[in-house]
A and B are shown apart, each in its own frame.
Chain A
Amino acid sequence: MLDADFFRRWMTVTAASVNREAERLTALDSPIGDADHGSNLQRGFTAVTATLEKEAPGTPGGILTLAGRQLISTVGGASGPLYGTLLRRTGKALGDAAEVSAEQLAEALRAGVEAVMTLGGAAPGDKTMIDALVPAVDALGDSFAAARTAAEEGAVATTPLQARKGRASYLGERSIGHQDPGATSAALLVAGLAEAAGE
């Protein structure tokens, strides 16, 4: 079973990997976006860890809901409401249970991903974070490590796609050949899950 400590660890290790990879995320965002994805997410996850240090809710759902709220209010770009909605909806789906099973997390995360798809109007193949998240959720039934691999493969697979959402979509065919920064950061979030689980 996964308790509040596990979810705090998930957020903390994700914040650390976002810090580590911020420059790479921004570099990916330079040719097809506005070159702020790394710094925006870094600001958001720094706020998440600072808030969780001050007031740490005692339930998995409470932690994700609070983290999502922080991302919506601090990121400043489109990734804020998108990641914020992902974590909040996942948190709300987990309810106020003190511990949840991996299966419950997989189900809640699927609800979160669906909420992100509704908010942004994106589907798989649009060259967005969805291209990493959907395969990850599908693989979560096997193991956290399988979800990490699926998310990383999903992110790499965005390279030949043409963007149909967000600022990159203005570039049309010129968006082809670049790995999507949002799918790349989504893979970091899923990798954080595997790391928190010790996989």
Chain B
Amino acid sequence: MSDERLVGIVLVSHSAEVAASVAALAKGLAGGGPAVPVAPAGGTEGGGLGTSAELIAAAAASVDRGAGVAVLTDLGSAVLTVKALLAEGDELPEQTRLVDAPFVEGAVAAVVTAATGADLAAVESAAAEAYTYRKV
């Protein structure tokens, strides 16, 4: 497995702290996680709560190693902003996908799976599967 080909992961939250913490948590819990390119894109550019298209685009570019980029989001406007960027066509790296997954559990599953050198489809389905983990 080569670092160059690992799937990149972008974590979009309304809060810079949440995005950064979940990124650190996912990398910390994933054995081979430190090698996985993970970038948080939290809050607005001014440091407030919200979603920034610029921060998302920059984060996606920074984790693109040519194997695709999986984007996980938290609430409403984060989802809409990523969808709108995808619809633009040229704002995000080729092979960028919005992954339908719970934010924290999905991020951990995505990073663990990406660390094995899995492709984008495998990372996406691992993250989505996190929805099936019931707590009660």
Which A positions have Cβ atoms within 8 angstroms of B? Answer: 36, 40, 69, 72-73, 76-82, 84-85, 88, 115, 119-120, 166-167
Contacts and interface: CB of A to CB of B under 8 A. Distances in A.
Given A72-B85, A72-B88, 18 more contacts: A36-B50, A40-B50, A72-B81, A72-B84, A73-B52, A73-B54, A76-B52, A77-B50, A77-B77, A78-B77, A80-B53, A81-B53, A81-B83, A81-B84, A82-B80, A85-B84, A85-B87, A115-B87
B31 interface: no
B5 to A, nearest CB: 30
B80 A81 contact: yes
Contacts of A119: 80, 83-84, 87
Interface in B24-76: 44, 48, 50-54, 75-76
A82 B77 CA distance: 9
A115 B81 CA distance: 14
Interface residues of B, number: 17
Contacts of B44: 76
A72 B51 CA distance: 10
Contacts of B80: 78, 80-82, 119-120
Nearest to A77: B77
Contact of B76 (A85, A115, A167): A167
> Most B CB atoms within 10 A — which of A80, A115, A167?
A80
A76 B76 CA distance: 11
A40 B51 CA distance: 11
> Most A CB atoms within 10 A — which of B44, B76, B77?
B77
B113 to A, nearest CB: 28
B51 A166 contact: no
A84 B54 CA distance: 14
30 contacts: A36-B50, A40-B50, A72-B53, A72-B84, A73-B52, A73-B53, A76-B48, A76-B50, A76-B51, A76-B77, A77-B77, A78-B80, A79-B77, A80-B51, A80-B80, A80-B84, A81-B53, A81-B80, A81-B81, A82-B80, A84-B84, A85-B84, A85-B87, A88-B88, A119-B80, A119-B84, A119-B87, A120-B80, A167-B75, A167-B76
> Which 10 A-B pairs give the minimum distances between C-beta atoms?
A81-B84, A76-B50, A78-B77, A81-B80, A73-B53, A76-B44, A81-B81, A78-B76, A77-B77, A72-B53
A80 B45 CA distance: 14
A179 to B, nearest CB: 20
Contacts of B84: 72, 80-81, 84-85, 119
B76 A166 contact: yes
Contacts of A40: 50
Contacts of B85: 72
A84 B53 CA distance: 11
Contacts of A72: 53, 81, 84-85, 88
B88 to A, nearest CB: 8
